[in-house]
Structure 1
Amino acid sequence: MGQHAHFFYALELPGAIKETLTGKVDRLQEQLPFKTWVHPQDLHITLAFLGNAPEDKLIASSQRIEAALSKQSSFDMKIDHLGIFGRKENPRIFWAGLDESPELKEVRNNVFSACQAAGFTLEKRPFSPHITIARKWVGEQPFTAEILESAIPFKNEQISFHAERVVLYKTHLGKSPKYESIKQFEFVSR
């Protein structure tokens, strides 16, 4: 599994949802000057970023996650808004946000706790579920709230999907797509 690669656990987005998002994002790319747009296959919801991870800790976290999620039922999610992280006039991350989900919070807490129990030191920031779609504003004009409000492809529309698994991903910097699925943790079908 490689000593110098970066790893993270994420909620996988179904292929059809990645296609739907890609169709909307393609239209946004024409309107919004961000430096990098996420490859459609790389769209996901991060649950725990591990960074550089030794194999023994990856195995320990995977075993704990498998046990913690063994009775987790699949559940419905909705993508229903856009947002940014970073400075308001010069955001570093442009994302699609999700409707409040107690099931997602529970899954995230289980994954996060399993990783900590396996010896990982994780970021303590509050969980803010999102799907990163672009990085680094490079517009000549400052980014404004009106830009989000005028993002026509997402206006007054929700995108629903059924969450079915958590995935351990490995990052391959310099490649596109750059995330490789290493292990999948299936939820119980409803």
Structure 2
Amino acid sequence: MAHYFIAIQLPENLQVYFSAWQTELQTKLTYKQWTHQKDLHVTLQFLGEVDDNKIRQLTEALDELERVSSFDTKVGSLGIFGNPNKPRVLWAGVNKTNALAQLQKRVESCTKTVGFPEENRAYTPHITLAKKWNGTGSLDRNTIEKLKEAWNETRPMTVEEVVLYRIHPKQTPKYEVVKQYKLR
């Protein structure tokens, strides 16, 4: 079975912007996977393996997202998840506005109606730039702090649609748009 997730696709100008960050950061940090420019996104909910029947039900349930109004937020500022000496994920932050938090809850409500469980962790919106630390040793904490200081600029982003993606792990780019939901 294929894996799926629901997300906000970055507009092309922000894909280019964060891809430039990645190019520079690759000279300073060692990761196994750097997210392809076309795959940059803000996850709203990861679904995992889903059969075709459930995907049909889900695409109908998500139609209600088209009643949600578009909104603005800001993206940028470098961050990490995991051990600061060997951070497993390098990301760009997303301002968790009230509108974004409500959209994420609405997505979760839609998925719950077709049998997906609620996420137990708090929602932390971000754009994954790289994952799977591949350094030969530990990263100096000062290095991460200096990088965070250097890459702290934010850019505005208007959220106008939500996308249901299918994951193709052996392809580049990896994510296929299954359906787009235009916000009002």
TM score, norm. by length of structure 1: 0.90
Asked if 1:46 corresponds to 2:43, the answer is: yes
**Structure 1 partner of 2:83:** 87
d(CA) in 1 for partners of 2:149, 2:11? 19
Distance 1:122 1:51, change over 3 A: farther
What residue number does 2:73 align with?
Answer: 77
Mapped pair 1:26 → 2:23: yes
Q: Could you tell me how far apart the structure 2 residues matched to 1:38 and 1:147 are? A: 21
1:160 and 2:181 correspond: no
Q: 1:65, 1:110 within 8 Å by CA — same for their partners in 2?
A: no
Alpha-carbon distance between aligned partners in 2 of 1:127 and 1:91, rounded to the nearest angstrom: 19
After TM superposition, the structure 1 stretch with the greater mean CA deviation from structure 2, 114-123 or 11-20, is 114-123
Map 1:141-152; keep pairs closer than 5 Å: 141-151=137-147
Which residue number in structure 2 is paired with residue 6 of structure 1?
3
Find the aligned partners of 1:61 and 1:165 in 2 and give their Cα distance: 16
Question: Quick one: distance in 1 between partners of 2:96 and 2:140?
Answer: 25
Matched with 2:56 is: 59
Structure 1 contact 12–45 (Cα < 8 Å) conserved = yes
Measure how far apart 1:152 and its partner are. Answer: 7.4
Deviation at 1:30, TM superposition (A): 1.0
- The alpha carbon displacement at 1:177 in A equals 0.6
**1:83-105: per-residue Cα shift (whole Å, max 9, x none)?**
11122211211111112311111
> Equivalents in 1 of 2:25, 2:43: separation in Å?
22
Q: 1:137 aligns with which of 133, 136, 139?
A: 133
SS state at 1:151 partner: helix
The Cα shift of 1:140 comes to: 3.0
CA drift at 1:168: 0.4
Aligned to 1:171, which of 167, 174, 178? 167
- CA separation in 2, counterparts of 1:5 and 1:162? 30
Of residues 149-158 and 39-48 in structure 1, the stretch that sits farther from structure 2 once superposed is: 149-158
Seen in structure 2, the aligned counterparts of structure 1 residues 143 and 7 have a Cα distance that, compared at 3 Å, is: same
Aligned residues: 184
**Contact residue 82 and residue 148 of structure 1 kept, 8 A:** no
C-alpha displacement at 1:122, in angstroms?
Answer: 4.3
| Offset of residue 133 of structure 1 | 0.6
Q: 1:21 to 1:154 in 2, by over 3 A?
A: farther
Partner SS state of residue 132, structure 1:
strand
Q: 1:156 to 1:44 in 2, by over 3 A?
A: closer
Q: Which sections of structure 2, spanning at least 5 residues, go unmatched?
A: none
Give the gaps of 5 or more residues in structure 1: none
Deviations 1:107-144 (A, max 9, x none): 10000111111111343211110111101222234124
Q: Indicate yes or no: 2:96 matched with 1:100.
A: yes
Structure 1 residues 83 and 153: CA distance shift in structure 2, 3 A: closer
Q: CA RMSD in A?
A: 1.7
